[in-house]
Amino acid sequence: MIFISNEYQQTIKAVEKAIPAVVAILMFKSPEQVKQKIDKTIFEQLPRDKNGLVRLGSCSGFFVSADGYVLTNRHVVEDEEAFYEVVWKHRHYPCQILARDEMTDLAFLKIDGKDFPYLSLGDSSKLKLGQTVIAIGNALSEFENTVSRGIISGLSRHVQTDLENMNREFSGLIQTDAAINPGNSGGPLINLFGEAIGVNTAVVLGVENIGFTIPINQARVILKDIKQYGKIYHPNLGVRYLLIDNDLQKEHQLPFNYGAFLIYETLPGQKGVLSGGAAEKIGLKEGDIILEIDGKKINKDYNLTDVLKEHQVGEKIKITFWHQGLSAQAGETKQGEIKLE
């Protein structure tokens, strides 16, 4: 007689409940968009759809409502020149991208239809260290509905990671040892009740058994905004940045070992200071350092994401920043007021 523990039975039931709601998200581009950027031999081997579009990748997502709302990562659908499809039960659905949120790396898609199976959203604020969790997704973009089991290894983690060839800062993340591989991005992290408690988003490359997940409570707020206002309605400074530590200070010969360093444009369209954003309007430039907001130092314990969570659109904040001159020695510290947009 084989004895199966209660936790294993719960795991199996949770997976059976969740898998029908998990989808694949495919990315396509026209041959003309692709062939100039990659080797000819590789280009000829890439799969095509029935219309001749080139398939460039596959990641994960999941239904959060019966009427076709799909939650995934922003970096999964980041390329605005690409075409995306949602695949569910081997059927391909064209999708509308409702929102891409750079601050949380979340995105919401919508497909036509009804009565889709969907995941209930749990409460990520109640997670405990050591709690059993399950990650579901398309591992390595090849293996559909791959399931891995682990525990909550850490809460409220701050992570700098390289997604889509670009440095990103995330805070408040859930750390887990459940295997999260390329292709799993956008898939759910669930609890033993089959509820989504996170969105799998990043792995630390070269290190085993460390994965990170965006708390589902962040997605809940965004979904409410989309349904109520038709857009994400939280403030945005319009910057991309790296938090300064001793290593970054030394590498760039910066005058401070704290603050948010506004990165230089690394790829076309990926500026450190976004055109027309609140930061640009008060004169912030790439290479500048945001030192304080309302008198509080910006560091790993209090970053710009934490600041924005405390404020609403239309509110004003006081900012202290270092403006880079021709050299670090020629820079100067300035102050200003930003109206959040």
Q: How far is it, in rounded angstroms, from Cα 278 to Cα 273? A: 9
pLDDT for the residue 34:
65
Most confidently modeled of 32-46, 66-80, 137-151?
66-80
Q: How far is it, in rounded angstroms, from Cα 22 to Cα 145? A: 7
Residues 148, 208, single domain; the answer is: yes
The answer to the question of residue 105 being in a domain is yes
Confidence category of residue 276, pLDDT binned at 50, 70, 90 = confident
The answer to the question of residue 7 being in a domain is no
pLDDT tens, residue by residue, 137-165: 886 556 678 899 999 999 888 776 655 55
Has residue 198 got a pLDDT over 90?
A: yes
CATH number at residue 211: 2.40.10.10
Q: What angle do CA 69, 72, 73 make, to 5 degrees?
A: 145
The answer to the question of residue 286 being in a domain is yes
Query: Among 84, 83, 28, which Cα is nearest to 61's?
Result: 84
Query: Among 196, 202, 238, 250, which Cα is nearest to 218's?
Result: 196
Residues 52, 88, single domain; the answer is: yes
Mean pLDDT on 290-307: 87
pLDDT tens, residue by residue, 319-332: 999 987 655 566 78
Kindly state the tokens that stand for 51: 């219309």
Residues 40, 72, single domain; the answer is: yes
pLDDT for the residue 206:
54
CATH number at residue 306: 2.30.42.10
Mean pLDDT on 156-181: 75
pLDDT tens, residue by residue, 76-121: 888 887 888 999 998 999 999 998 887 788 999 999 999 999 999 9
Mean pLDDT on 28-54: 67
233 near 246, Cβ under 8 Å?
Answer: no
Confidence category of residue 1, pLDDT binned at 50, 70, 90 = very low
Has residue 19 got a pLDDT over 90?
A: yes
Percent of the chain with pLDDT over 90: 34
Residues 188, 145, single domain; the answer is: yes
pLDDT for the residue 144:
73
> Which residues contact residue 184 at a Cβ distance below 8 angstroms, ignoring those fewer than 6 apart?
59, 60, 135, 137, 138, 139, 146, 200
pLDDT for the residue 111:
94
The answer to the question of residue 170 being in a domain is yes
The answer to the question of residue 116 being in a domain is no
Q: Whose structure tokens read 């004169």?
A: 283
Query: Among 133, 233, 240, which Cα is nearest to 193's?
Result: 133
Q: Which of 155, 189, 219 is the last residue of a domain?
A: 219
The tally of domains found in the chain comes to 3
**Element (DSSP H or E) covering residue 120:** none
CB atoms within 10 A of CB 88: 21
Q: How far is it, in rounded angstroms, from Cα 289 to Cα 270? A: 18
Q: How long, in residues, is the chain? A: 341
Comparison of pLDDT for 233 and 202, the residue scoring more: 233
Residues 249, 328, single domain; the answer is: yes
| Residue-averaged pLDDT of the chain | 83
Catalytic amino acids? 75, 105, 185
Residues 27, 93, single domain; the answer is: yes
The answer to the question of residue 106 being in a domain is yes
Q: Which of 110, 134, 150 is the last residue of a domain?
A: 110
Residues 331, 248, single domain; the answer is: yes
Residues 271, 300, single domain; the answer is: yes
Q: What is the DSSP string of 22-66?
A: EEEEEEEE-HHHHHTTS-HHHHHHS-B-TT-PEEEEEEEEEESST
Mean pLDDT on 51-72: 85
What domain range includes position 255? 241-339
pLDDT for the residue 8:
85
Comparison of pLDDT for 64 and 235, the residue scoring more: 64
pLDDT for the residue 39:
62
Residues 212, 246, single domain; the answer is: no
The answer to the question of residue 118 being in a domain is no
pTM above 0.85, yes or no: no
The answer to the question of residue 235 being in a domain is no
